[in-house]
Structure 1
């Protein structure tokens, strides 16, 4: 019996390379696709010219299905929809922090689905997963607290089974997964596939700055922190001077006094850290699972190793003794 994720998306392996701003551009996306997974461009709020450029560049590097992520804000959805309908990527990945807007989702998803485009929605809550299904999504990603970048306050291990129980569409587990053990755990909790982000940051094809890759490889346990939680936009990154400054602002001042300042600081932080390589004054968004990532590898090797490990673990589980 074929995997429902593979069947729905037209891919060979039930793994999604998570979309990451300033990180998942055409070279990485195409490499993930060519290895049998689904690569997703991380260009949620990019100008239309860049969206089109990255889609066309990815097509030159792979003939496999790939996705494009879009942040679910009315102005962004309205602006990018014509480009998506013209370029017709196989998948659109709808990104939202919390409270997926039902009406906007239906308005956005309907023309995409009519054009034959599959819809994936990232859900940080059970409510958002239900809204995604009701709005016409084909799959839902349940991303937990352990992941890098924007996250939910709930852990993957508790969010995932609740989402699985709440919806009938396929569910993809995300947050804190970087090897076969994580994939096996996700399957045991009811997931039909997994999404990985941080693992792919340390792929050969990822175009982030070498300093950012080295910072991720050097990360030890408890060295990632959550920032921006005070304005309900929690975001996980490696702790550094930038994160310390943001946390100090959040802790020492009323939110209303510093919200504008926080947003101003956060705006350019990812480019500074991931693209420019200033890992002290910029943001290196990385999941809590980073300490188990120890080397730079091709994306295909990451994908195939995870699946091989997962198969071995599941096979061994049959011999587990309960007495």
Structure 2
């Protein structure tokens, strides 16, 4: 299947592997790219040397396009842009929080384009998507069935749907809604090439429809995760504290919890996120759109 997503990103299949910290490293990213999709390194907050190492290793494993993720947080962008100008990854996957700053997009997207990079941007509302398109080129909060048609009605760039897609049925539904491709994250965690602890893969495969809970409402960036002792503690914190106090307590509890699960295999106090842990805050990505340019 070839369309604008494939043409812009120079890939064979309009499938993007979502970047996931401690998971989306060179072996998985290269495997996805070699299979015809777009692998993306989950290095948004990683030290420069680690990013360089992962890019170098990915290039040893594939000659296909791949991406690295960034996060549109102003204090982090100058450092990242300097790094991008050095390593020149084929694609930049720009993660955002809600309320995209159009001026930031205009400034940094130009610099990334000048470095020869294609840009995928992840936004949180249709307004954010429109602002991002002006700068160069994903959306949460509403259901995918609502967002994709709205986005394709108002945007000129190709739209990639994301959120709860894990097989051909989800792909077909996204295309029917107007998307030109899909992004998948969680499903890739069970892949042989994903460098996560076997306990995590087993938990994901065995999880049912009621195995997950949503935590982090107090942060305004909630996240879905597999239910365990950690999630119980987080839910209790939110039930027994004011929003402001709960948000601060959750950030302390959540710190390093992703690493505990993904690397150490701790399924009791580790976090098996269905989505992402950004910095020390939690972000819900149940339904997203990608805008590619």
TM-score of the pair, normalised by structure 1:
0.82
Aligned match of 2:285: none
Which position in structure 1 is the counterpart of 2:17? 17
Cα deviations across residues 262-312 of structure 1 (Å, max 9, x unaligned)?
11222211111112110110110126xxxxxxxxxxxxxxxxxxxxxxxxx
1-structure distance, mates of 2:27, 2:10: 20
Aligned residue in 2 for 1:314: none
Number of the residue aligned with 1:228: 216
1:30-179 pair list within 5 angstroms: 30-137=30-137, 141-142=138-139, 152-179=140-167
Gaps of 5+ in 2: 276-293
Match of 2:172 among 153, 177, 184: 184
State the structure with bigger RCO (CA 8 A, min sep 6), 1 or 2.
2
1:276 aligned onto 2:264: yes
C-alpha distance after superposition, 1:217-270 (max 9, x if no partner): 110012112211211111111111111111111121101223222112222111
Structure 1: tracts of 5 or more residues without a match: 143-151, 288-323
Displacement after TM superposition at 1:183 (Å): 0.3
- Partner secondary structure for residue 124 of structure 1: coil
1:231–1:259 contact (8 Å) kept in structure 2: yes
CA distance in 1, matches of 2:121, 2:265: 30
Cα deviation digits, residues 28-66 of structure 1 (max 9, x gap): 000000000000001111111111111111111111100
Query: What is the alpha-carbon distance in structure 2 between the residues aligned to residue 23 and residue 67 of structure 1?
Result: 14
Structure 1 partner of 2:281: none
Partners of 1:2 and 1:194 in 2: CA distance: 13
SS of the residue 1:286 aligns to: coil
Q: Which residue of 1 aligns with 2:230?
A: 242
Q: Which stretch of structure 1 is more off in the superposition, 110-119 or 185-194?
A: 110-119
Structure 2 counterpart SS, 1:222: coil
Greater CA deviation, 258-267 or 236-245? 258-267
| Aligned-partner Cα distance in 1 for 2:212–2:172 | 24
* Between 152-161 and 60-69, the greater mean CA deviation after superposition: 152-161
Contact 2:102 2:131 in 1 (8 A): yes
For each residue in 1:111-135, what CA deviation from the matched residue of structure 2 results, as whole angstroms up to 9, or x when unmatched? 1101211010012211111111011
2:2, 2:12 within 8 Å by CA — same for their partners in 1? no
For residues 187 and 211 of structure 2, the distance between their equivalents in structure 1, rounded to whole angstroms, comes to 16
Partner secondary structure for residue 264 of structure 1: helix
Q: 1:118 & 1:216 partners in 2: Cα distance? A: 32
Match of 1:255 among 227, 243, 249: 243
Question: How big is each residue's C-alpha offset from its partner over 1:84-134, in whole Å with a ceiling of 9 and x where there is no partner?
Answer: 111100000000131122222222111110121101001221111111101
After TM superposition, give the deviation of residue 166 of structure 1 in Å: 2.3
* TM-score, length basis structure 2: 0.91
